[in-house]
Structure 1
Amino acid sequence: MNAVTPEDLELLRRPLHGFLTVSTGEPRPVWFEAAGDGTIQLFTEPDALKVRRVRRDPRASIVVAAPVGERERWVSVAGRVSLEPDGAHELASRLASRYWDLDDPARAADLEAILKTDQVRLVIHPETVRRYAY
């Protein structure tokens, strides 16, 4: 099946790390957001290695797995990536509140530092979706 299902979205919308792979790169843990249309959004600095790799080969995949202590389950989304110049700071703010306790002054300062830098959005447009549940 090549579409993200409601069950996939239920897992993808949890505050879990995804493992992003871009061409010739090794998987890296990332924050991400799954949209209702199944696209996956991330933010990063415009000169990051993953951005340079995506410009050469605009394909990527992300794998998200349920944590230890839950039944085994994972979702993999692969497809073409678009680089979007807008919306990255808003995405960073949403994800920071999802992954961090922003009442912690150190984390609030970390977010402030991110928001002071240029950021772009990477959007994975699903072409292949695989899943496993045990």
Structure 2
Amino acid sequence: MEGTETLNSSTSEFIAASFNTSSTKKPIIMGCLYRPTDKTFDYTSNLCQEIRILHSQNRYNIIWIGGDANLSDVAWTSNTIIGYQYSIHINETFINTIIDTANEQIVSFPTRNEIALDIFCTNRLTIVKRCLPMPGLK
């Protein structure tokens, strides 16, 4: 499978590519993100704006976005804020971006300690059969 880069951010750690498949009419868009723990609200705002742009440019495509969001304050099963390690603006901006782009975050198990810091979001939940943990690389 060969991908074509569709977004390579210059302001955040976010990249996306489109992949043609035999089972979908339009390419699947796959994005990968990393939100460092030491970054400000502006960084998160830029990252979220790029996620929104990706969605607006690919409205009718299946979109998968995964990566390390480092949002230990978010309970993804309810899209609520449960802690105060990061500002409420950082947490709310990220949650609202996921909701506003019609995505669902489907990682429901801890990925580090007891928290889901690594996320996987999709705008087509019906085609994802399951999301299971795998052992980490050493």
Question: TM-score scaled by structure 1?
Answer: 0.29
- RCO higher in structure (CA 8 A, sep ≥6): 1
Name the structure with the higher helix share.
Answer: 1
